Amino acid sequence: MHITLLFAEQCSAASATTALELLSAANLFAGEPLFEVVTASLDGQPVATLRGQTLQPEAALDDIARTDLVLIPGFLFTLREALPGFGRYGDWLRRRHAQGAVLATMCTATFLLAENGLLSGARATTHWAFAELFRKRYPDVRMDERQNLCEDNRLMTSGGASAAMALMLHLIRRYGSLELAQKCSRYLLIDNARSEQSVYVMWSMPKSHGDADILRVQNWLEENYDKTLSIDELAPRFGFGVRNFMRRFKEATGYTPLAYLQTLRLEKAKHLLESTRMSLDSITFKVGYADSNSFRRLFQQRVGLLPAAYRKKFQPA
């Protein structure tokens, strides 16, 4: 299988070397060269990465007329600098995809496909911290940042840096074998990938919207999230009619007031699970819920783990 590893300007050196090492390991364990990997940049010249590193490609993109899979490393800390140059890769990527190649991205390289219209109408994922920027920039893409991996019409996208390993194991499993992927996983100490990245999300409260009245409500909710609240009571407290309050809050924050409060409570619960030994019943009450069974179900639905599993994963021993 011919794989083109695309070195784009400002791409992550870690992502690129992870891909090379995992594919090399797969070939080694298979006992034959299952994967023929060619590294390429736009013009065949070295590309700059984070902190002044350079990657030396083996070819220019135009030297590669046909390939089975194009693999694109991410841009976790360099996305904003790299984004203006993404359009230069579009023609070549569209030609390869039209020939039947799979296009696979690591982390924020999802932006490179979307910038060139290749993800229009498709389901995709990216690093959760960049999901809102992605939605605003590419509203025609069905973004689902809860997922570690998405695939739609020979377009594979993955979440954060650790999801790059999940993507590589997925490719080795699909184009090699399940046994080969398991062998790579065991020898390289890579856990089987979680299907979701929601467990890692840290919520940043949207406060830069410019609506001072709604900001007052948000600040009040941060101090009173544990109280029994209703929208019918909250709106007049701040001088709003209910319908106007619902509209203004959603326009400013992107959330309904109820969804905002729910997310705020979940973040407080996550912090308590990580930093205390409080019982789930105590945490449930402290963040404003009365029924720990219902809260347990809500936590699992929204975060992707039960509270006890979340505590085990993130609380230091």
pLDDT tens profile 248-267: 999 998 889 998 999 899 98
Rounded distance, CA 229 to CA 16, Å?
49
Residue ending a domain, choose from 177, 200, 223 = 200
**Greater confidence, 77 or 235?**
235
- CATH number of the CATH domain containing 168: 3.40.50.880
Residue 89, in any domain of the structure: yes
Do 227 and 181 have their domain in common?
Answer: no
Q: Counting every residue, how long is the chain?
A: 317
Average pLDDT, integer, range 269-298: 91
Do 118 and 17 have their domain in common?
Answer: yes
Do 29 and 68 have their domain in common?
Answer: yes
Q: What is the mean pLDDT of the chain?
A: 87
Structure confidence at residue 189 (pLDDT): 67
Average pLDDT, integer, range 77-88: 90
Least confident of 63-67, 114-118, 140-144, 173-177: 173-177
Rounded distance, CA 257 to CA 185, Å?
43
Rounded distance, CA 148 to CA 201, Å?
12
Do 182 and 155 have their domain in common?
Answer: yes
Residue ending a domain, choose from 155, 171, 200 = 200
Structure confidence at residue 196 (pLDDT): 52
Tell me: pLDDT of 137 over 80.
Answer: yes
Structure confidence at residue 88 (pLDDT): 95
**Confidence label for 284 from pLDDT (cuts 50, 70 and 90):** very high
Do 246 and 184 have their domain in common?
Answer: no
Do 310 and 172 have their domain in common?
Answer: no
**Greater confidence, 148 or 104?**
104
Residue 179, in any domain of the structure: yes
**Greater confidence, 159 or 88?**
88
**Greater confidence, 205 or 312?**
312
Do 141 and 196 have their domain in common?
Answer: yes
5 touches 164 (CB < 8 A): no
- CATH number of the CATH domain containing 249: 1.10.10.60
Residue type, 198: S
Do 220 and 78 have their domain in common?
Answer: no
Structure confidence at residue 316 (pLDDT): 62
Residue ending a domain, choose from 153, 168, 200 = 200
Can you give the three-state secondary structure of the chain, one letter per residue?
A: CEEEEECCCCCCHHHHHHHHHHHHHHHHHHCCCCCEEEEEECCCCCEECHHHCEECCCEEHHHCCCCCEEEECCCCCCHHHHHHHHHHHHHHHHHHHHCCCEEEECHHHHHHHHHCCCCCCCEECCCHHHHHHHHHHCCCCEECCCECEEECCCEEEECCHHHHHHHHHHHHHHHCCHHHHHHHHHHCCCCCCCCECHHHCCCCCCCCCCCHHHHHHHHHHHHHCCCCCCHHHHHHHCCCCHHHHHHHHHHHHCCCHHHHHHHHHHHHHHHHHHHCCCCHHHHHHHCCCCCHHHHHHHHHHHHCCCHHHHHHHHCCC
| Token code pair at residue 56 | 């030396």
pLDDT tens profile 175-200: 888 788 888 887 776 765 454 555 55
pLDDT tens profile 13-55: 888 998 999 999 999 999 989 999 999 999 999 998 877 788 9
| Token code pair at residue 36 | 């023929």
Structure confidence at residue 164 (pLDDT): 77
Structure confidence at residue 51 (pLDDT): 74
Structure confidence at residue 85 (pLDDT): 93
**Confidence label for 170 from pLDDT (cuts 50, 70 and 90):** confident
Do 295 and 236 have their domain in common?
Answer: yes
Strand partners, 124: 143
Can you give the three-state secondary structure of 199-240, one letter per residue?
A: HHCCCCCCCCCCCHHHHHHHHHHHHHCCCCCCHHHHHHHCCC
Do 188 and 228 have their domain in common?
Answer: no
Do 163 and 79 have their domain in common?
Answer: yes
What is the total count of domains within the chain?
A: 2
What is the domain range of residue 38? 2-200
| Token code pair at residue 309 | 């599993």
Do 81 and 28 have their domain in common?
Answer: yes
pTM to 2 decimal places: 0.65
Residue 206, in any domain of the structure: no
Tell me: pLDDT of 246 over 70.
Answer: yes
Residue type, 316: P
**Confidence label for 64 from pLDDT (cuts 50, 70 and 90):** very high
Q: What's the maximum distance between 2 C-alpha atoms anywhere in the chain?
A: 72
**Confidence label for 204 from pLDDT (cuts 50, 70 and 90):** low
Strands 149-151 and 142-143, sheet pairing: unpaired
Structure confidence at residue 27 (pLDDT): 93
